[in-house]
Structure 1
Amino acid sequence: MKATYLKLPKTVSREVLVNTSACTLVRMVVKAGTNPPLHAHPHAQIDYMISGAADVSIDGVITHVNPGESIFIPGGAEHGFLVSEEDQEFLEFFTPGREDIE
């Protein structure tokens, strides 16, 4: 699987809370109107929505995620949040840890 790591637009902020070889935990804030491109990486990912809501595409299947809900993204799956209608804050957990972020 070829990883297509996401370059974050300026309307997205990322705070790395934990980053080890075993796992990575990141807090993300995405401003309304952001349309990040779909991407893939070998890491399994769990996203937990703190505020806002999002439609998430995972290998072409779209799932709506509300505050207090989580979604699992298998390693290697092409995925991404679709255009945000409102600001979003969420946590992202990756395993194994992300070697491409600090």
Structure 2
Amino acid sequence: MKEPFIKLPPTVKREVLVAEKACTLVKMFVKAGTNPPLHTHPHEQIDYMISGAADVSIEGVVTHVKQGASIHIPGGAEHGFLPSAEDQEFLEFFTPGREDI
């Protein structure tokens, strides 16, 4: 696995499940209270919450994502998970594939 361009805090673990040119699938583990930075990338992104819940900011609009729910993040949109009182485990699907993770 390549190191990401944005260094993840130690409270975040990433497991790359699929890394292809067309798409990337990643499992994320985020501890409660983590405050990752808002960021952008050109990839379309879909996140599916396996466990826990969090608020996600997309272009300043905050959406609550709970277990069993998914959210679409358009390519180029500034986004990020906001600090949560719960640990989260979720899948992230990117298209085209990410070259930085």
Gaps of 5+ in 1: none
TM-score normalised by L of structure 1:
0.93
Counterpart in the other structure of 1:74 = 74
1:25 aligns with 2:25: yes
Gaps of 5+ in 2: none
In angstroms, what is the RMSD of aligned CA positions?
0.8
Question: Aligned letter for 2:91?
Answer: L
Shift of 1:74: 0.2
Counterpart in the other structure of 2:52 = 52
TM-score normalised by L of structure 2:
0.94
How many aligned residue pairs are there?
A: 97
Taking the aligned partners of 1:7 and 1:40, their CA distance within structure 2 comes to 14
List 4+ stretches of structure 1 deviating above 4 A: none
Counterpart in the other structure of 1:83 = 83
1:64-84 CA-to-partner distances (Å, cap 9, x unmatched) read 001000000000000000002
Question: Aligned letter for 1:100?
Answer: D
Taking the aligned partners of 1:6 and 1:46, their CA distance within structure 2 comes to 19
The answer on whether the counterparts of 1:6 and 1:37 sit within 8 Å (CA) in structure 2 is: no
